[in-house]
Structure 1
Amino acid sequence: MVDYSVTVHTGYLAGGSTINKINIKLVGTDGESDHEWLKPWKGALTFLRGQSSHFNVSCPTSLGKLLLIELDKQNLLKVTEDAWFASKVEVKSPEGDTYNFPIYRWISDNEVHQFREGTALRVFDDTHHLGRFSRQQELKQREEDYRWHVYAEGIPHCIKTEDPLSLPREVRFSFTKKTEFDFTASAGMAALGLKGLTDSVEPWTRIDDIGQVFLLRRTPISEYTQEHWKEDAFFGYQYLNGVNPIMIQRCKVLPGNFPVTEDKIFLHGHCKLTDEMQKGNIYLSSGGEALVTILKRSLSEITYTSLCMPDDIAERGVEDVPNYYYRDDGLKLWDAVYKFVEGILGHYYKSDAEVQQDTELQKWTSDIFEHGFLSQANTGIPQSLTTVPEMVKFVTMAIFTGSGQHSAVNTGQYDYGGWMPNTPVSLQLPPPTTKGTTSEATMLQTLPDVNTTAQGMAVMWLLSKQSSDFVPLGQYPEEHFSEEVPCKMIQNFQGELEVLSAAIKVRNKGLEVPYKYMDPKEVENSVTI
């Protein structure tokens, strides 16, 4: 007989413990173990959240190289059924090898679930028939769990689901995030309700009265916004470092319907619009319309270049615009992510031919092109990947968009929108088209009413608030990589992000309005809202 040392880790998530019966089977290249009950020698504490428990699994002979494990959870003594969040299983073989099986799944039924050994394998490396079968089953399950849905014609497809509860539990909001989200929303609306703001459909009668809502939630930048929102310099600053830092671009040719003439821009005829445009001193920023229209228009304007920050900065001609901290920090963050991705993927893909023959990689790429960009070739989005550098750039774009770029356009919403007159959530009248015809009275008639203001500010606060289970970029609580080289690269990536974060913090100490949205310590690992 030979013994395998098995360590089962239960994740540290609320409700992740189980008192049910846990069974395991080890499957290797030379055989498999019996379907064995992991006897709870610590009683109810054996599979308590955050707990690690050790077991021995005995086999007549060695199983060879371990490929996968099978786990199932059975109701013990007919007690109440529960859900168990297993994080990982480690197995030490009699030959002294350690195998890691990442799980990070909720197991709430009585079915047998297979989990593959954690060593990364490209599809053409998975040569054992059991490994291939397990891989195919996992892909099949993912296709059932995550299906595309057409919400409206002409906009990117979304996930098909009736409600959040129909999604796999591990991709829903965590209990912590949901509880905080619900509490923040209800507490904010309750506070506004007590002041009689959420039920009032009356217009504002004075700008200063809007402070009744604003006083409930403040940040240093939102206070600065309240003080400086009327200033032209601050208005322009927000196009560089506010929540729309990707709209501004150098103007080389005036739009055909451009309504502004030289006499409206320059005093006393000292400068000419055409001369300043040739010098590269004129910049434009575009606006938007109703939601679905905005989404359709946005998709028509998105290109692969616009999603890759170095290319986007060059395309918009803003390489040398001063005080553009979004650009400065974003390019450094992009470079850090690119270097990390290049290292990881370069470790596994040694040639362009290997990229081309990875059918799963190609399917993932074509899926994004088809459903994310509606097969529009003019976007420049790759339909397939043919070289290692192409793959590195594409993966960098995906990571950067879901982390740094999302932080840049989301996290500052309350900072710049908390003081409603600076960023109205709606307008009751069209914006003025004639210079000099506005007054505080017409402005108040145009701004949203009291109720809409209160609700809009509550939503912006909710969207901007950081959850207590926030995971910053570069941190990976789920240990999917166990190999030495990738783990070392992760450590190096984390070190680079630490250096960048420290540099941003030092820079911000000297700024009247600090820019923190690309600070790796403030950037979430991925979109979680």
Structure 2
Amino acid sequence: MDTILCTCSIKSRLLIPSLQMFVSESCSWHVYDEDMARITNFDSPFALPAELQFSFTKEIEIFYTGGKHICSSDLASFAEYVRKNWDKDEFFGYQFLNGLNPMMIQRCSKLPKNFPVTEEVVKGLLGKSTLEAEIKKGNIFLCDYKMLDGVRGNVVNGEQQFLTAPLVLLHLDHHGLMLPIAIQLGQTPGPENPIFLPTDSKHDWLLAKICVRAAEYCVQEVDFHLLRTHVLAEVFTLATLRCLPSIHPLYKLLIPHTRYTLHINIMARNLLITEEGVFVRLLRRGTSSLTYSSLCLPENISERGLEDVPNYYYRDDGIQLWNIIYRYVTGVLQHYYTSDEHVQKDTELQSWIREIFTNGFLGRSNTGIPESFQRMEDLLKFVTMVIFTVSAQHAALNNGQFDFGGWMPNYPTALRKPPPKEKGQTTMDTILETLPNVSTTVNSMAILKVLSINSTDHYPLGCFPEELFDEEVPCRCIKDFQEWLKLLSGRIEERNKTLKHPYTYLNPKNVDNSVTL
């Protein structure tokens, strides 16, 4: 844990004339798509000033790692465990809580009208209980991929790819296991959209789960990972650089959490996103449904009814990190703002939140994002959300990509065949013909590997490369922050010793200060 408690030896470079001049003269918002958050106006990372670009070390490591793993046939580490267990219902359900996307699952108090699961359909799957009884007990959960409804897959190497928009019903059994009990692969029920069950043939049930995992890939990578961490991190970074002078306390607090963000996002747009591809269509849909409460972990957990679900380590570790960040933010900012009036009268602060509201959330008041700060508590909550989003949330959604996706059938990028329209027709050959081909698989695995590793010059949460504050109070707050992170790391490591699947992604040692990959 020494890295988290590192003592920063580089004195503050707050007023970097070249960077300040660059921001004031050249850095502006650009419309990539009318229905999406605004981005930086630079289309090449090398147009950025040196202070905002990757280090030479990081750039070399990214391209070396990618090339190495494209050429390598040995792409399995933790993925070896996934390879052996990916087809098991227990592991399928586990991933909704502690896998790459712990954000979809929600407690089901009433079945959607377009998901006609009846008592007869799930008879025998709930032991001696009934569906109605289990719903009342709070043991039934739902994952709804409706944002994929009607979205057509890309054409890859001349071959049409397919997407599904599944509904997944899960049951929390008396052992504390989250198990799937019904899957419908489309949003419109009917004879050609059957409800698949664990009691169906082995191949029918396996293909249904594969279709869900392919849907999971799209929603996770575009909505939760790209939009809700990378895109928002760029918004926060641009607003910070444009609106806050480097002597501003919020600038000093946030600038370590913007490192490399513009560079990696420009690279991602240039290499991975096409203007009329699936990614952009889904980004539009994701942006339209984005809310402030969904970005604030305590509220998000409450809204999804997951406060008391057992074995939900993302929630347990995430809430502790949220609270630690909040205490740190509160300690620093209350040193500078001693009343609501001070917050209200800070024109630079108000300009900062106004740019985020306008350019990041497109001026939509129904998102719940504040247009201005009137109270100290509103400022503290929002800044906590910003730091949590670009550090902890990004780590949770990014760092396990190769762990869970290194074995492709568990995380297919798309499907080469449309979803089955009837039961009893699927064979192993059908499944193999549906999964991505070898070329797509190898390239996808190499990308996931690159996105899952830390470069040698990364900074864990709380380890700041520069001494930005001189005053005693904020300096003490930083030391306290580092100590709280160290204690949390120790608790997580002790807990993990008792787990079949250790959850490591929110251990502060594994959380970067910023979105760097």
TM more than 0.5: yes
Task: Go from structure 1 to structure 2 and tell me whether the alpha carbon gap of 1:499 and 1:436 turns closer, same or farther (over 3 Å shift).
Answer: farther
Q: What amino acid is aligned across from residue 376 of structure 1 in structure 2? A: R
Name the residue aligned to 1:81: none
Distance 1:380 1:238 in 2: 29
1:11-30 deviation per Cα after TM superposition (whole angstroms, max 9, x unaligned) = xxxxxxxxxxxxxxxxxxxx
1:182 to 57, 63, 68: 63
Give the C-alpha shift of residue 425 in structure 1.
Answer: 1.4
Equivalent position of 2:27 in the other structure? 146
1:61-100 correspondence runs (5 A): 88=11
Out of 441, 444, 457, the residue aligned to residue 445 of structure 2 is 457
How has the CA–CA distance of structure 1 residues 268 and 223 changed in structure 2, closer, same or farther, with 3 Å as cutoff? closer
CA contact (8 A) 2:109 2:135 kept: yes
- Partner residue of 1:157? 38
Name 1:258's counterpart in structure 2.
115
The CA deviation at 1:265 is 2.5
Runs of 4+ in 1 over 4 A off after TM superposition: none
1:433 Cα shift? 4.7
- Matching residue of 2:513: 525
Gaps of 5+ in 1: 1-51, 53-86, 89-100, 106-112, 116-137, 192-212
The residue that corresponds to 1:334 in the other structure is 322
Q: 1:238 is matched with which residue?
A: 95
User: Structure 2 length normalisation: TM-score?
Assistant: 0.70
Match of 2:54 among 153, 159, 173: 173
Secondary structure at 1:267 match in 2:
coil
Say if 2:134 is the partner of 1:276.
Answer: yes
Change (3 A) 1:334 1:348: same
Aligned to 2:303: 315
CA distance in 2, matches of 1:435, 1:146: 56
Residue 455 of structure 2 corresponds to residue 491 of structure 1: no
- SS in structure 2 of the partner of residue 275 of structure 1: helix
- After TM superposition, give the deviation of residue 435 of structure 1 in Å: 4.3
Within-5 A mapping of 1:338-487 = 338-487=326-475
Structure 2 gap segments, 5+ residues each:
1-8, 149-277
Q: CA–CA distance in 1 between the matches of 2:143 and 2:101?
A: 10
Give the fraction of aligned pairs with identical amino acids, expressed as a percent.
49
Would the alpha carbon gap of residues 353 and 433 (structure 1) be closer, same or farther in structure 2, given more than 3 Å must change?
farther
Partner of 2:251: none
User: Residues 443, 259 of structure 1: CA spacing in aligned structure 2 closer, same or farther, 3 A cutoff?
Assistant: farther
Kindly provide the amino acid, as one letter, of the partner of residue 374 in structure 1: L
What TM-score results when the alignment is normalised by the length of structure 1? 0.68
Equivalent positions of 1:492-507 (< 5 A) are: 492-507=480-495
Structure 1 pair 160–266 and aligned structure 2 pair: CA distance change class (3 A): farther
- Please name the residue that 1:46 is paired with: none
Paired letter, 2:427: S
Is the aligned partner of 1:218 residue 2:68?
A: no
| 1:151 counterpart letter in structure 2 | Y
Deviates more, 1:430-439 or 1:410-419: 430-439
**Maintained 8 Å contact 1:403/1:525:** yes
Deviation at 1:306, TM superposition (A): 0.7
* Contact 2:76/2:407 (8 A) holds in 1: no
Which is helix-richer, 1 or 2? 2
Q: Report if the CA contact (8 A) 1:104-1:478 is conserved.
A: no
Partner residue of 1:102? 13
Q: Which has the higher contact order (CA 8 A, sep 6+)?
A: 2
Counterpart CA distance in 2 for 1:446 and 1:246 is 27
Query: Aligned equivalents of 2:360 and 2:315: distance in 1?
Result: 25
Kindly report the root-mean-square deviation, in angstroms, between the aligned alpha carbons of the 2 structures: 2.0
- CA–CA distance in structure 2, aligned partners of residues 338 and 145 of structure 1: 33
Distance 1:279 1:350, change over 3 A: same
Q: How does 1:114-153 map to 2 (within 5 A)?
A: 138=20, 141-153=22-34
Distance in 2 between the 1:250 and 1:465 partners? 33
Once the two structures are TM-superposed, the CA of residue 438 in structure 1 deviates from its matched residue by 2.4
1:293-323 Cα offsets, whole Å, 9 max, x none, are 2212222222111101111111110001000
Residues 85-142 of structure 1: per-residue CA shift (max 9 Å, x gap): xx64xxxxxxxxxxxx62485xxxxxxx489xxxxxxxxxxxxxxxxxxxxxx4x742
1:192-211 matches, cutoff 5 A: none
The answer on whether the counterparts of 1:250 and 1:318 sit within 8 Å (CA) in structure 2 is yes
Q: For residue 499 of structure 2, what is the amino acid of its counterpart?
A: L
| CA shift in 2, pair 1:281/1:166, >3 Å | same
More moved, 264-273 vs 465-474: 264-273
Mapped contact 1:356–1:387 kept (Cα < 8 A): yes
Deviation string, structure 1 residues 315-346 (Cα, Å, up to 9, x no partner):
11000100000000000000000000000001
Bigger fraction of residues in strand: 1
Counterpart-to-counterpart distance in 2, 1:457 and 1:144: 41
Aligned-partner Cα distance in 1 for 2:116–2:443: 34
Amino acid at match of 2:13: P
Q: Secondary structure at the match of 1:262?
A: coil
**Does the residue aligned with 2:381 lie in a helix, a strand or coil?**
helix
Cα pair distance change 1:433/1:494, threshold 3 Å: farther
